[in-house]
Amino acid sequence: MIRPFQTLLLASLAAVIIVACSSPRRVSDGRTRDEQRRIAEACLSMLRSSLTNEAIIQLDDTRVPQIIRSLHPVDIELDASDAVVMCSGKPAEYHLNFRPHDAKPWVLYVAGPGYNGHEELLRLDHD
């Protein structure tokens, strides 16, 4: 026979397990939040620079921000609303994307081995 205390204890344990399993997990790329923000802002600055007119971006180009060069990119692709920095390490890709219907429309994603597709790191509300 289960006593009321045991029922309460089991219900509390079940609630803790449900909350723990349903909480969104914070994706990590091994960098601080400040570094992630600097990466996102550097991608945004490249999108707004003359680099967007380049078909092939030279990785040692002085217009590529230092924080991006520190990622040791193997390729950088810029489009009107997307900046993709492909790296040889983990993560394999940083992707800044514009989502016009969101309050913070610029989203920085990471992707590559160990990630479930493109996973969101942070959002920016820059114009």
Per-residue pLDDT tens digits for 73-119: 999 999 989 999 999 888 999 999 999 999 899 999 999 998 999 99
Section 40-52 average pLDDT = 92
Q: Is residue 13 part of a domain?
A: no
Q: Is residue 88 part of a domain?
A: yes
Q: Is residue 107 part of a domain?
A: yes
20: pLDDT strictly greater than 60? no
Higher pLDDT residue, 101 or 4?
101
Rounded Cα–Cα distance for residues 93 and 85 (Å): 6
Reduced to 3 states (helix: H, G, I; strand: E, B; else coil), residue 122 is: strand
Q: Is residue 23 part of a domain?
A: no
Label residue 55 by pLDDT band (50, 70, 90): confident
**Residue 90 sits in which domain range?**
31-124
Region of 117 please: left (phi>0), alpha (psi -120 to 50) or beta.
left
Q: Is residue 16 part of a domain?
A: no
Rounded Cα–Cα distance for residues 52 and 62 (Å): 14
Q: Which two tokens stand for residue 115?
A: 């990630």
- Collect all residues with Cβ–Cβ distance below 8 Å to 79 and sequence separation of at least 6: 52
Q: Is residue 6 part of a domain?
A: no
With beta carbons less than 8 A apart as the criterion, state whether 94 and 43 touch.
yes
Report how many domains make up the chain.
1
Label residue 19 by pLDDT band (50, 70, 90): very low
